[in-house]
Structure 1
């Protein structure tokens, strides 16, 4: 057992605890005990497995705190401890020694305290940061936006407050379409292939084979306030964007249409106002949109991709929105249907064409 490189007992019905003797497996490169019924605490002796590159204990019934000894795993590249509902306490500062981390998945636990700013200083190779569905408080550390390799930033369903940091343009990986696949190999040719749950199109989807292609920012269901930063529209590689369930105000950025790869967009349950930018109709990959329960007004843009999104629920709870797919007509529609005299000539009438009305209401937002 001492010379074992890969220890994979995932997706079984294993119960009981993780024995402290795990520390004797000093040559382990991959430890995957995910998707079982393991309980108890994470043993301190796990820190003795100093060659470990992939650690996956997700989807179990672990409890207690994340042991500080995990900071000894300085070769670690991926850490999945998500979906252990009784895992509590703060993120130990010793983890800052794991500078090769590319994935830190701590979602769906009971972790608390502030999100450590040192994550943005220590994990410069981080691609995935999932802190979803915990009890984190305080502001989003602006240091997180210094991680240029970050593709997935999921801070949803916490108790975060403050505004969205302005320096979003620093997230270089979200500005480009991702194409590289990613595996963990060891000397025997065996590998560990990670997976991740991402909230897309209103449901949790599991990504495995194409996880390296995912670009996602999910800050939903917090207490964030202020306006949506215009810098967000520089993240041209984003495929999933969810800011719903906060207290955001102001307008939807006029250049939102620049995010050409967006497949899922959710700004619902905020206090956003103003018109829906016409540029949104140019999002040709968009298959899920939710702008409900805001204070948006004016005509709903039509044409292109928006023509395929005909569910009125997308726009419900915005009392001053009008036009299809909502039943209420715009005032300009009533005007356009009324006959108008032309040049004072008796009996010569015409109706104002819809194309003219659209042009007059066009938002050329910068």
Structure 2
């Protein structure tokens, strides 16, 4: 079956588990697979499937496990996927999926972000990537992050320098310009110095008396 397109017929209507992983199936996932309403486990991982995930995937109401990882699937995740109330194991990693992850009670019950890893254009919870207004996400170039970090550091040091200059001249500039303030400042400084020296002398005298 390697290298050939997967074809289904109505004789599979009562199948409950399909595992066709690690083959070389290519082309789109057949829409007919969505008619297997008794299916509980579907594993098509590690193939070469392309195109969109079938929009009627939500018809598989009994589905418990769905693994479509390591293919070439693209487009958005169908909203109907969130209606699979029995779904407890999901893996869509390492495809080319894009857009916002559908909101729904069942998908929100699967908070593991590794389910969607390897799809850089996906956005929304449980991923940390936020969606833009059009529901799409564009990954940042690492060089952009480096530039942003460099700009932040630059403005941090600039603000420190400006703060020092303003603080220094705010105090000492005033003392230089205002003669009366300058005298008052040095008198205050002398008073503080005398009080500190007196406190030290008293402390030493008390220590010597105890000895």
TM over 0.5: yes
**Contact 1:250/1:271 (CA < 8 Å) preserved in 2?**
yes
Where do 1:7-18 residues align within 5 Å? none
4+ residue segments displaced more than 6 Å: none
**Contact 1:293/1:316 (CA < 8 Å) preserved in 2?**
yes
- 1:320 aligns with 121
Q: Return 5+ residue gaps in structure 2 as ranges.
A: 136-211
Where do 1:235-254 residues align within 5 Å? 235-254=36-55
- 1:270 aligns with 71
Q: Return 5+ residue gaps in structure 1 as ranges.
A: 1-138, 140-159, 175-214, 335-366
Where do 1:164-183 residues align within 5 Å? 164-165=6-7, 167-174=8-15
CA shift for structure 1 position 333: 8.0
- 2:21 aligns with 220
* TM-score, length of structure 1 as denominator length: 0.36
Once the two structures are superposed, residues 110-164 of structure 1 have per-residue CA deviations (whole angstroms, 9 ceiling, x without a partner) of: xxxxxxxxxxxxxxxxxxxxxxxxxxxxx2xxxxxxxxxxxxxxxxxxxx22111
**CA distance in 2 between partners of 1:223 and 1:333 (Å):** 35
1:259 to 2:101 alignment: no
SS in 1 for 2:85: coil
**Contact 2:44/2:68 (CA < 8 Å) preserved in 1?**
yes
**Equivalent residue pairs, number:** 136
SS in 2 for 1:252: coil
Q: Radius of gyration: which is bigger?
A: 2
**Contact 2:111/2:126 (CA < 8 Å) preserved in 1?**
yes
- 2:105 aligns with 304
- 1:195 aligns with none
- 1:63 aligns with none
SS in 2 for 1:331: coil
CA shift for structure 1 position 250: 0.3
CA shift for structure 1 position 169: 3.0
- 1:331 aligns with 132
1:292 to 2:86 alignment: no
- 2:200 aligns with none
CA shift for structure 1 position 171: 1.0
- 2:4 aligns with 162
* TM-score, length of structure 2 as denominator length: 0.62
**CA distance in 2 between partners of 1:293 and 1:169 (Å):** 31
SS in 1 for 2:3: strand
Question: Larger relative CO (CA 8 A, sep 6+): 1 or 2?
Answer: 2
**CA distance in 1 between partners of 2:57 and 2:10 (Å):** 14
**Contact 1:169/1:232 (CA < 8 Å) preserved in 2?**
no
Higher strand share: 1
Once the two structures are superposed, residues 272-306 of structure 1 have per-residue CA deviations (whole angstroms, 9 ceiling, x without a partner) of: 00000000000000000000000000000111211
- 1:19 aligns with none
